Amino acid sequence: MQPFQPKTTPERSPYVIAHRGISGKAPENTLAAFKLACEMPGIDMIELDVRLSRDEEVIVLHDRTLQRTSTGNGAARGYTLGEIKEFDAGSWFHTSYSSERIPTLREVLRFLNGRRWVNIELKSDFLHREKPFLLERKVLELVEGAGMNRAVLFSSFDHRMVANIKRVNPEAITGVIYNVYRDFGRLPSKLAGRVGATAFVCAKHELTRGMVRDARQHGLAIYVYTLNTTSNVNRMMELGVDGILSDNADDIVAHIKANDR
Catalytic residue positions?
19, 62
Q: In 3D, which of 90, 86, 61 has the Cα closest to residue 76?
A: 61
Give the helix ranges, DSSP H, for the chain.
31-39, 81-84, 105-112, 134-145, 159-168, 180-183, 188-195, 209-217, 233-239, 249-260
- The C-alpha atoms of residue 45 and residue 241 are separated, in whole angstroms, by 15
Tell me which H or E stretch contains 54: none
- The C-alpha atoms of residue 3 and residue 170 are separated, in whole angstroms, by 16
- The C-alpha atoms of residue 194 and residue 209 are separated, in whole angstroms, by 22
DSSP states of 68-111: TTSS--SBGGGS-HHHHTTS-SSTTT-GGGTT--PPBHHHHHHH
Q: Are 175 and 200 in contact (CB under 8 A)?
A: yes
Which residues does 50 contact at the CB level (< 8 Å), separation at least 6? 58, 59, 60, 61, 105, 120, 121, 122, 123, 135, 139
- The C-alpha atoms of residue 43 and residue 144 are separated, in whole angstroms, by 23
Q: In 3D, which of 61, 65, 56 has the Cα closest to residue 23?
A: 61
